[in-house]
Amino acid sequence: MVGAAEQPLARWRRTRGTLAGVSVDLIVSGIGMVSASATTSALCLLDPPDLLLNYGCAGAHRLDLGPGDVIIGDRVVHFSAQIVRPDGTRDYMGFDYVADGARVQTGSIPTAPELVALAQRCAAQVRLPAWPGYATMPSVHTGTVASADIWTQHSETILSLHDLHGSLCEEMEAAAIAQVAAIYGIPFLPVKDVSNNELLKATGGATERGWPSLGEQELEVGRRAAMLVEAILVEVGSGAPV
């Protein structure tokens, strides 16, 4: 970005600058649904944006998705919103919120179709680098992004989530941002790149708490999603309709 400078947003780190003539705020929300919704709410209340782009890494929900592959989210689901019945069965609840004075109950939130189309056009032009150790170039897919404060490593659960939602990946922020964006009427698009595919290989424990960690790939996770987001913003700066 040109003229990048730190301009905190309430309690969150925000870097403001311009990219291809577009004023851009780069905000670090932190991990998780609460952090994402709080950050997005603060932005929408204090300094409403024209559009919201969320990028980062995700875990794959399909066998054919590998490290570095990019997901353009055309809809999001909140997969931890569910009822656990007395017999142990689970029913998905979806979203329940108020926008423009009307109650909205929906299984998923669609993202901005014009942003999806723009992202697809950009994906056809940008060259994404291969993941270290992989010979093939990353592929770009469009589909459902699933969110929850959950890291799913159990293969059968991952496949069940994919069967239920048609999800391509899971992460921990997009659904929260999508709901806030829907409430405030702001176009939203998530762009994620695959950092791990637990269907192929479980991510090992490497943290002090014994949790799985992607630390050894920390310079790679989210990088390809960021490259596509940059290309999108350049197109916006050139006058692409959004």
pLDDT in tens, 8-62: 999 999 999 999 999 999 999 999 999 999 999 999 999 999 999 999 999 999 9
Q: Does 32 reside within a domain?
A: no
Dump pLDDT digits (tens) for 184-234. Answer: 999 999 999 999 999 998 887 656 566 666 777 888 999 999 999 999 999
Q: Does 213 reside within a domain?
A: yes
Q: Give me the number of domains the chain comprises.
A: 1
3 φ, ψ to 5°? 65, 30
Nearest to 236 by CA among 122, 152, 133: 122
Dump pLDDT digits (tens) for 151-177. Answer: 999 999 999 999 999 999 999 999 999
- What is the residue range of 76's domain? 53-237
CATH number at residue 70: 3.40.50.1580
Listed as own residue / partner, the contacts of 212-220 with beta carbons closer than 8 Å and 24 or more positions apart are: 212/151, 212/153, 214/57, 217/67, 217/132, 220/67, 220/68, 220/131, 220/132, 220/195
| For range 74-80, the mean pLDDT | 98
H or E, element range at 69: none
**In whole angstroms, what is the distance from residue 162 CA to residue 71 CA?**
14
H or E, element range at 182: helix 174-184
Residue 209: per-residue pLDDT: 63
Q: Does 157 reside within a domain?
A: yes
Q: Does 95 reside within a domain?
A: yes
**In whole angstroms, what is the distance from residue 155 CA to residue 186 CA?**
35
Q: Does 24 reside within a domain?
A: no
Nearest to 179 by CA among 80, 77, 58, 100: 77
Q: Does 41 reside within a domain?
A: no
Q: Is the pLDDT of residue 116 over 80?
A: yes
Task: Output the CA–CA distances (angstroms, integers) from residue 166 to 53, 151, 236, in the order listed.
Answer: 22, 18, 30
Q: Does 18 reside within a domain?
A: no
Residue 218: per-residue pLDDT: 81
Residue 214: per-residue pLDDT: 75
Q: Does 23 reside within a domain?
A: no
Neighbouring C-beta atoms of residue 113, cutoff 10 Å: 11
Residue 241: per-residue pLDDT: 73
Residue 242: per-residue pLDDT: 73
Instruction: Retrieve residue 217's tokens.
Output: 């790939």
CB 123 within 8 A of CB 228: yes
**In whole angstroms, what is the distance from residue 159 CA to residue 109 CA?**
21
